[in-house]
Amino acid sequence: MSVAVVNTQFQFPGQTAFYKGKVRDVYTIENKYMVMIVSDRISAFDVVLPKGISYKGQVLNRIAVKFLEATRDIVPNWLIQSVHPNVSIGHICEPYKVEMVIRGYLAGHAWREYNLGKREVCGVKLPEGLKENDKLPEPIITPTTKATVGHDEDISREEILKRGIVSESEYLQLEEYTRKLYQRGTEIAAQRGLILVDTKYEFGKKDGKIYLIDEIHTPDSSRYFYKEGYEDRQKAGQEQKQLSKEFVRRWLIENGFQGKDGQKIPEMTDAVVEGISNRYIELYENITGEKFDKNTGANNAKEMEKAICDFLAE
């Protein structure tokens, strides 16, 4: 097992800014390039857990690169090049302050809200009589605010427009891109025997043009079910076999943690950490259909730094 990449502290030529997110370390170069290092930190319920997960950053970055390349014909994206398994370099874009969440099935947060008796999520009405993981009549968009600190919050299209967070014409374009990206992701998942249950997209602007930014279709931003046996499991009221970070959330919930004040994060033993790492590798291989090639180099940080500096020197 390689050492988890939890923090980076680089100083690159021309570096003008640094931002540490829940999972990513982002370096701005000459206000032109964004160097995104996907660490092995793991978050759930908007809380960063105390231990890193080996290979998780590689899994997320490599899946995101694969899907960014597979959707360029739908919408331009920020990626210029992935120079290392954990690192992507791309254009700086001004991000919209909303995340575009799209759901084809009633799962996760939407199900938890529905199960509390709510029949409207982010201004979208839901029919009565649905069970957990049922397919929705049609995919629904349930945006969230993009919080700098703390929890993202559900928000409706009407509220986004009322607050002027995004103009109406641009928001409608974001919705169109979101639906087309989800459709493409659904088609690719089906080829792998999977169902893309729900996912989220982030967008930004550069030179007046909308770009897709950040990661897409990774297990941190998406939920997948296995297609085989889905209908039978639904009819029998059984849990779905899924590929997502939900197993981490479930483990936390079972151990009394949902990110609420006063709750303590359960102990992450070596066995728990290794189990999560193995699940992420399983996710990668199932989602991409490719064998995961572990980059176990002890000098991971030095490898990253050299790869980035080589790119910037070109």
Question: What DSSP string runs through 127-140?
Answer: -TT--TTPEEEEEE
CATH of 95-243, one of 2.40.160.10, 2.40.50.100, 3.40.640.10, 3.30.470.20: 3.30.470.20
Q: What is the pLDDT of residue 186?
A: 97
**Which one-letter amino acid corresponds to residue 246?**
E
Six-digit token pair at 235? 């009819």
Q: State how far the Cα of 246 lies from the Cα of 282, in Å rounded to an integer.
A: 14
Q: What is the pLDDT of residue 244?
A: 78
Alpha-carbon distances, residue 284 vs 13, 166, 171 (angstroms): 33, 34, 32
What pairing do the DSSP bridges indicate for beta strands 120-121 and 124-125? Answer: antiparallel
Q: For position 300, what pLDDT does the model report?
A: 77
- Which pLDDT value is given to residue 255? 94
Rounded to whole angstroms, the Cα distance separating 164 from 148 reads 18
| Amino acid residing at 159 | E
Position 151 scores a pLDDT of 61
Residue 38: partners with Cβ closer than 8 Å, 6 or more residues away: 23, 24, 57, 58, 60, 61, 64, 86, 87, 88, 215
Instruction: For residue 91, give the H/E element and its range.
Output: strand 87-91
> At what angle are helices 270-288 and 56-70 packed, to 10 degrees?
20
H/E segment holding residue 156: none
pLDDT, tens digit only, all 314 positions of the chain: 578 899 999 999 999 999 999 999 999 999 899 999 999 999 988 899 999 999 999 999 999 999 999 999 999 999 999 999 999 999 999 999 999 999 999 998 999 999 999 999 999 999 999 999 999 999 999 999 976 555 678 999 999 999 999 999 999 999 999 999 999 999 999 999 999 999 999 999 999 999 999 999 998 899 999 999 999 999 999 999 988 788 898 899 999 999 899 999 999 999 999 999 998 998 899 999 999 988 766 557 888 999 999 999 98
β-sheet bridge partners, residue 206: 209
pLDDT computed for residue 294 by the predictor: 83
The rounded distance, in Å, linking the Cα atoms of 208 and 93 is 10
- CA 180 to each of CA 131, 142, 176, 183: distance values in angstroms, whole numbers, following the listed order: 26, 15, 6, 5
Gyration radius from the chain CA atoms: 19
Q: Which two tokens stand for residue 167?
A: 């103009």
Put simply, whether the predicted model's pTM sits higher than 0.85 gets the answer yes
- CA proximity to 287, closest of 277, 298, 279, 295: 279
195, 105 Cβ separation under 8 angstroms? yes
Q: Find, among 69, 287, 60, the residue nearest to 194 by Cα.
A: 287
Task: Output the pLDDT for position 98.
Answer: 96
Burial class (CB in 10 A: 0-12, 13-18, 19+), 162: exposed
